[in-house]
Amino acid sequence: MGAPAERNRILPTLVFIFLWTTFVYDFIACWTWSINGWSHVMGGLDFAGGTPVHISCGAAALAYSLALGRRSGDPREFRPHSMSNVVIGTCFLWFGWFGFNGGAALSANIRGASAFVVTNLSASVGGLTWVFLDYRHDRKISVLGFCSGVVSGLVTVTPGSGFVSPASSILIGFLGASCCNMGIRLKHYLRYDDAFDVFAVHGVGGLVGNILTGIFARSWVAGLDGTTQIRGGWLDGHWMQVPYQLADSCAGFVWSFGVTSLILFIMNKIPGLHIRASADDERLGLDLSQLGEMAYSYLEERPEHSIEIGRPGASSSASSTSPQRHCLTSKCLRCTKQ
C-alpha cells in the first residue's frame, strides 16, 4: 500500500486489499508453507516469508505503480514529511520483526533465538551499508538511508532467518542493502513511481534473500529445534537448493504481478472502482480529499486561500474565470508561490 500513496482512491483500495489477499497472498502462502504445497514438496526453503510476504508485495507494488502512473509534480520534491516519524516507524518495524522472524519457529526454542540474532545482525549491517553507499554518492550521512538499509537487511534475512548462521547473516545484510540500494537507483532510471520504494526494498530484497538462503542455509541451524531436517544449501554441498529457491521466487513474482495487474484492470472497468484519484483530489491531497482530515493540528483552515483549477497552460486572464476551490491549509505552498 505504500507504492500507490498520494494518488490512489481509498474505497477501491479497500476492495483491492480483500481481493489481493484472497487471490494472491493466500495462494503463495499455501504453496510455500503447506505440507502439500508444491514449493514445500520440491524442497524450497522459506522460514518467515521471502516469497509470500516480500516478493509478492514487491511485485504487486510494481504492478500498482505502473497501473496508476506517476504522481504530478517534481519527483525531487517527494521527500519524507517527517523524519521523526520515519525513525519511529523503523524502530517499530525492527522490534516487530523479532516476532515476525523469531516467531516463525512456532515455539520458544534455540532456533527461534538464533532467528532473533541473525535478524538483528542483518538489519544493523544493512543500515550501515546503506549509509556508506549514500555517502559515496552524496557525501551525506543520511538517517533516511540508515532506516532504508535496516528494512532491506530485515527483508533479505527473512527467508533464511531459521536456516542461516550469525556469520552468514552479516554478509546477507551487506548484500541485501547493496542490491536494494541499486534497485532504488534503477527506479529513477526506469521512471516508474513507487512512492515507498516497495519493489526496490521488498521485491529485490526478497529475491536476493531467497537466493542467499539457498547458498547459506545450514542443516545444523535448522536442526536447533530438534525436529527439522533439511539438506542445507551450497555450504552443505546441496547444489540444487539455489535452483529450488529461484523457481519459488520466479513463480511468486509472476503470480503476484500477473494477478495484481488483472485485478486492477478489472476494477478500473467497474463504475465507482477506478483506482486513480482525480487531478483535483491529488492536488489538494488525499488526506483532505478522501478522508476529510488533516494530519497536523497546526494546519488551520484558511478559507481566504484559494487555488485556481483551470486548463493546464491557460493564461491568467482565462483562468480568472475558472472555478475556484478553497485551500484548507494555512501553509499551502501553492498559495504562497502564487
Q: Residue 193 corresponds to which cell in the numbers above?
A: 513511481
Residue the block writes with cell 533516511: 144
Residues 166/121, Cβ–Cβ less than 8 Å: yes
pLDDT bracket for residue 82 (50, 70, 90): confident
Handedness of CA 261, 32, 230, 163 (dihedral sign): positive
Number of Cβ within a 10 Å radius of residue 126 = 33
What single letter denotes the amino acid at residue 304?
E
Would you call 52 exposed, middle or buried from its count of C-beta atoms within 10 A (0-12, 13-18, 19+)? buried
Mean pLDDT along residues 38-62: 96
Residues 287/63, Cβ–Cβ less than 8 Å: no
Mean pLDDT along residues 105-126: 95
Least confident among 99-113, 194-208, 272-286, 288-302: 288-302
What is the predicted pLDDT for the residue at 298? 59
| pLDDT beyond 50 at 326 | no
Handedness of CA 51, 78, 123, 132 (dihedral sign): positive
What is the predicted pLDDT for the residue at 78? 74
What values do phi and psi take at 191, rounded to 5?
Answer: 65, 40
| pLDDT beyond 50 at 334 | no
Where does 191-309 have alpha helices with state H?
A: 198, 204-216, 219-222, 241-269, 279-284, 286
Mean pLDDT along residues 239-252: 97
What is the predicted pLDDT for the residue at 305? 43
| pLDDT beyond 60 at 88 | yes
Would you call 26 exposed, middle or buried from its count of C-beta atoms within 10 A (0-12, 13-18, 19+)? exposed
In this predicted model, which residue has the larger pLDDT, 211 or 6? 211
DSSP 8-state class, residue 287: I
pTM of this structure: 0.85
What is the predicted pLDDT for the residue at 297? 61
CB within 8 Å of 181: residues ≥ 6 apart: 129, 130, 133, 134, 148, 149, 152
pLDDT in tens, 263-298: 999 999 999 999 999 888 888 888 888 888 877 765
Domain architecture of the chain: domains with CATH: 10-269 (1.10.3430.10), 294-337 (no CATH)
| pLDDT beyond 60 at 28 | yes
Percent of the residues in the chain that have a pLDDT greater than 90, as a whole number: 69
Q: Please, what is the average pLDDT of the chain?
A: 87
Mean pLDDT along residues 49-67: 96
| pLDDT beyond 70 at 253 | yes
In this predicted model, which residue has the larger pLDDT, 333 or 178? 178
